[in-house]
Structure 1
Amino acid sequence: MPEPTPPADTHHVFVYGTLRRGDVRDITRMHPAPQFVGMASVAGTLYDLGSYPGVVLGGPGRVTGEVYAISAELESQLDVIEEVWPQQTGEYSKQQVRVQVRDSGTAVETLELDCLVYEINTARTAGKPVIASGDWHERRPPR
């Protein structure tokens, strides 16, 4: 049985840190529920900011994450979590990026989708360690 088609006002979001399944802010526990699309990666560098990561987009590295179809209502909740609205702390900015999504059970091996990505302000990465694997779930535990 095929997955239900997301509504026309659906957006896609790429999550790479604490919003990933099983992490402290697991997006799958939010409402309205997002629809998992697949595992994915973007060009970028992933930084360990302590209890959460930040991605700086672009460059030769790859950052691993998950893509979800989300409603405008859920997008608004994510904006609050990432402090891009209404606080606008300057820690993150919301970007739209072309993301490579790996096979999610369809006949397509990879597909590309335009996704929202919350990018860390580069000033916040000064002196912070890079997660060489590009995967928040594969980082080394704190010492």
Structure 2
Amino acid sequence: MIPVVEPPQLEKDLRLFFGPNAIRFMILWRARRLRGGRVGFSWLSFLFPQAWFLYRKMYLTTAALTVAPVAVAFFFQSTALSNLIGVTISILGGLGPRYYVETAEALVVDIRAQSQTDEEARSTIAEAGGVSRPGAALGALIFFSTVVLAIMTKHIR
């Protein structure tokens, strides 16, 4: 397989965007560029999807992953369906690194296209990327709240 050559600027921008553990995500990005590149499953994002996505500043994804099971439970009132949604969310969470890399590339290209100067682009990329420790803490709180709520619900019935 012949790797696709990417502009060096895109690689620099992605490294800046990824922040901590940039090497891990750059490996996934390069693998994605190759035909048959590996998927990039993460046990951490599988077990704690909200915390992982919030740590990586993927707020809309987290909102969707959090609201979906609540909406299904509320509207369909099906425990089996709610459990299936929970497992599906964990699997999607496990694929989070791949989704993150794809989203990051699109965002970096968009920021670069809209920026007037290199300095402006780099500043915006750095601000949009990186990690959020408060986000991870909020994600952990969401996770533990749902566990406590599930335990309390079983005790009430």
TM-score (structure 2 length as normaliser): 0.26
Greater RCO (Cα-Cα under 8 Å, separation 6 or more): 2
Q: TM-score, normalised by structure 1?
A: 0.28
Select the structure that is richer in strand.
1
